[in-house]
């Protein structure tokens, strides 16, 4: 790991933790509003990351830090419990619960985008010579550490939350998109249940989703960058 990556590690982790916390808190809040208090009683209708960390220590602490150290990118997960019998009785409410997490990431991506766009429009930031996922802007006209750090933070917030939004909405179990479809279609629900019965289907689904994501992300993120720098 380079010295620059080590300096940026706390920034990456703060954005990652905020992103997964908002994602799972949105799931938990939507379930609570729909009549399932399982996650609410577990303290997960909250932007406090501690209940989410306590539930998924590997996914919220160890794997993100290891993936950043070895790959330069944070990967991980969190989870919010729900009542499967509630989901069975109220499939459309469960679909809204499933959609709430990715929509929270879309909201955070929009916040990052608007902040970057405002800084570019006012001349605080400018487009860098070399674009990276964590470097979408640089300080215009000189080195200002505070603006540089804020630009990095907004860059990571935009990029990471576009990734989380798109990846989680893929309609492949165990992604949220599959649960959204299952709540809207009986046939999709039966297919998802058959896949859940296979102990390895979750890992297979993640591998398939990751393969397809490569084709989905590049054109969409390129369009986001065109909007940003327009």
pLDDT 10s per residue in the chain (230 long)? 677 788 889 999 999 999 999 999 999 999 999 999 999 999 999 999 999 999 999 999 999 999 999 888 899 999 999 999 999 999 999 999 999 999 999 999 999 999 999 999 999 999 999 999 999 999 987 667 789 999 999 999 999 999 999 999 999 888 999 899 888 888 777 777 777 777 677 788 888 888 889 899 999 999 999 999 98
Q: What is the pLDDT of residues 33-42, one digit of tens each?
A: 999 999 999 9
Q: Which residues, including other chains, have CB under 8 Å from residue 71's CB and lie 6 or more apart? A: none
Q: For residues 25 and 81, is the Cβ–Cβ distance under 8 A?
A: no
Give a yes or no: residue 127 inside a domain. no
Three-class secondary structure assignment of the chain: CCHHHHHHHHHHHHHHHHHHHHHHHHHHHHHHHHCCCHHHHCCCCCCCHHHHHHHCHHHHHHHHHHHHHHHCCCCCCCCCCCCHHHHHHCHHHHHHHHHHHHHHHHHHHHHHHHHHHHHHHHCCEECCCCCECCECCEECCCCCHHHHHHHHHHHHHHHHHHHHHHHHCCCCCCCHHHHHHHHHCHHHHHHHHHHHCCCCHHHHHHHHHHHHHHHHHHHHHHHHHHHHHC
Give a yes or no: residue 203 inside a domain. no
Give a yes or no: residue 99 inside a domain. no
Give a yes or no: residue 102 inside a domain. no
Residue 212 to residue 49: CA distance in whole angstroms: 30
Give a yes or no: residue 27 inside a domain. yes
Number of folded domains in the chain?
Answer: 1
Give a yes or no: residue 13 inside a domain. yes
Residue 98 to residue 110: CA distance in whole angstroms: 20
Q: For residue 112, what are the β-bridge partners?
A: none
Whole-number pLDDT of residue 49: 94
Domain that holds residue 4: 1-76
Give a yes or no: residue 103 inside a domain. no
Whole-number pLDDT of residue 1: 65
Residue 125 to residue 118: CA distance in whole angstroms: 9
Percent of the chain with pLDDT over 70: 98
Whole-number pLDDT of residue 204: 85
Give a yes or no: residue 12 inside a domain. yes
Residue 230 to residue 225: CA distance in whole angstroms: 8
């Amino acid at each position: 790991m380079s010295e620059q990556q080590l300096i940026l590690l706390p920034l990456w982790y703060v954005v990652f933790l905020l992103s997964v916390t908002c994602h799972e808190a949105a799931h938990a809040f939507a379930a609570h509003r729909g009549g399932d208090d399982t996650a609410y009683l577990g303290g997960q209708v909250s932007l406090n990351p501690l209940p989410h960390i306590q539930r998924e220590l590997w996914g919220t602490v160890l794997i993100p830090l290891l993936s950043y150290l070895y790959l330069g990118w944070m990967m991980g997960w969190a989870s919010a419990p729900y009542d499967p019998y509630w989901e069975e009785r109220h499939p459309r409410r469960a679909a809204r619960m499933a959609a709430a997490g990715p929509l929270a990431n879309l909201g955070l991506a929009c916040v990052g985008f608007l902040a970057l766009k405002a800084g570019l429009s006012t001349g605080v930031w400018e487009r860098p010579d070399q674009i990276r996922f964590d470097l979408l802007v640089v300080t215009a006209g000189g080195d200002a550490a505070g603006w540089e750090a804020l630009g990095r933070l907004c860059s990571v917030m935009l990029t990471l939350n576009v990734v989380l939004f798109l990846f989680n909405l893929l309609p492949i179990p165990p992604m949220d998109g599959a649960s959204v479809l299952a709540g809207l279609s009986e046939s999709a629900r039966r297919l998802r249940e058959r896949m859940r019965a296979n102990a390895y289907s979750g890992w297979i689904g993640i591998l398939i989703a990751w393969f397809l994501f490569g084709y989905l992300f590049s054109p969409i993120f390129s369009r986001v960058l065109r909007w940003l720098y327009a």
